[in-house]
Amino acid sequence: MDPHKRSATIEVMTGDETVIGGGRFDTDQAGFAAMRRYVNQIRPDIEDRVWAVEGCNGIGHHIAMRLLAAGEQVIDVPPKLSARARVFSTGQGRKTDATDAHSVALVGTRMSGLRPVVNDEQLAVLRLLVDRRRSLGEDHTRMISQLHALLLELIPGGAKKSLSAAQAKALLATVRPRDVVGKTRRRVAAELIADLERVYARKKAADKELKELVAATGTSLLDLHGIGPSGAARLLVEVADITRFPTRDHFASWNGTAPIDASSGDNVRHRLSRAGNRQLNRTLHIMATVQLRNDTEGRRYYDRRRADGKTPMEAMRALKRRLSNIVYRAMLDDVMAAQATGPGGQRGSDSDSSATGSQPQHRLFGQATPGPVTPQPRTPLPRVS
């Protein structure tokens, strides 16, 4: 399926890649019902069919959740995989809804191990709240930038960089412009300060709610230095199932902290990866920055890399790569602890058995951080025959 906001284009394909149907349907209630009736006519056994939907964490999320609610099996096809299949199957990369649906069907039929979509209400709530917390932070940054621009016009030299709403209000109280432009500028600055105070209150409430929800999952991520409620929530909602990454190297490649080999001949070098999940990369960057500001193992690891001749940026990238290993180990240990809690394997039912006690920092930053013995992430995708 190639999903859009108001329409979805599907192609029905058997296990031997024979196309037996397809079409374009609206995503409203009537269109969704018509699409399922059409598929039921071709493949009436619901247990014998799988829906491969492109971008289930993005534009395809809304229709994937509706399919799950209807009892269908759904797998997530990453857009990069479908784009490659489109190029290889057509010889060029031209896009139409029909060719996109065909490439998604090819990926879903040929590849095993694609991530099955599940309706995890706990993660869905976390995603909503962490996205809202991020937007509040963006609003704060934008308002602070506007306030700095106004204060620079009202006060010679402007205000200091780290400016709070209370400090801005105290500064503004010392200004009494007499011209019309100055008075208007002061009034707008006062309105921005009032907006900032509301944003501060909302951020505080959002952090409190996120902390409670993240703690309820039983994760040990909050025990890692440099990860707060927002960072832990972002890791949980983006990763979802850590066992889908066979090794920590796969995880680092996915989050963009693994360097890319750019060697040529005798010139051996690596360059920065700008691929991967940028939201997770940002979370790891914040974690590294916090560790560098304090006397931590991360700070000492960074200093060792600088002493080895690395530039500050190279040492920072090495630190982020090592922190990716730590996060991977912590999340994997949480899964192991949840599986060992007894019948049912309730997620996070025993936080004392999580990775907190099994992750001394000196071992994590040693030369030989032991690789995990990862359980099989998923069963192979059943083929439609």
Separation CA 17–CA 384 (nearest Å): 9
The pLDDT of residue 90? 62
Q: Which class for 139: exposed (0-12), middle (13-18), buried (19 or more C-beta within 10 A)?
A: middle
The pLDDT of residue 378? 38
Reading the block at residue 344, the tokens are 């049912």
The pLDDT of residue 93? 62
DSSP string, 223-292: GSTT--HHHHHHHHHHHS-GGGSSSHHHHHHHHT-SPEE--BTTB--EE----S-HHHHHHHHHHHHHHH
User: Could you count the other beta carbons within 10 Å of the beta carbon of residue 368?
Assistant: 6
User: Could you count the other beta carbons within 10 Å of the beta carbon of residue 88?
Assistant: 10
Separation CA 9–CA 23 (nearest Å): 6
Task: Tell me the pLDDT of the chain (385 aa) as tens digits.
Answer: 999 999 999 999 998 889 999 999 999 999 999 999 999 999 888 888 999 999 888 889 999 999 999 999 999 998 888 888 888 776 666 788 899 999 999 999 988 778 888 888 888 899 999 999 999 999 999 999 999 999 999 998 888 988 899 999 999 999 999 999 999 999 999 999 999 999 999 999 999 999 999 999 889 999 999 999 999 999 999 888 898 899 999 999 999 998 887 778 777 777 778 888 899 999 999 999 999 999 999 999 999 999 999 999 989 999 999 999 999 999 999 999 888 775 444 444 443 333 333 333 334 444 433 344 444 443 343 333 3
What φ, ψ does residue 370 adopt, rounded to 5°?
-65, 135
Separation CA 277–CA 321 (nearest Å): 14
Separation CA 116–CA 68 (nearest Å): 11
DSSP string, 124-167: HHHHHHHHHHHHHHHHHHHHHHHHHHHHHHHSTT---SS--HHH
Separation CA 280–CA 286 (nearest Å): 10
Reading the block at residue 252, the tokens are 């680092």
Q: Residue 237 to residues 45, 61, 130, 133, 288: CA-CA distances in angstroms?
A: 32, 13, 9, 14, 20
Reading the block at residue 191, the tokens are 């309105």
Reading the block at residue 300, the tokens are 């000492």
Separation CA 240–CA 238 (nearest Å): 6
User: Could you count the other beta carbons within 10 Å of the beta carbon of residue 235?
Assistant: 26
Reading the block at residue 310, the tokens are 């690395």
**In 3-state terms, what secondary structure has residue 336?**
helix
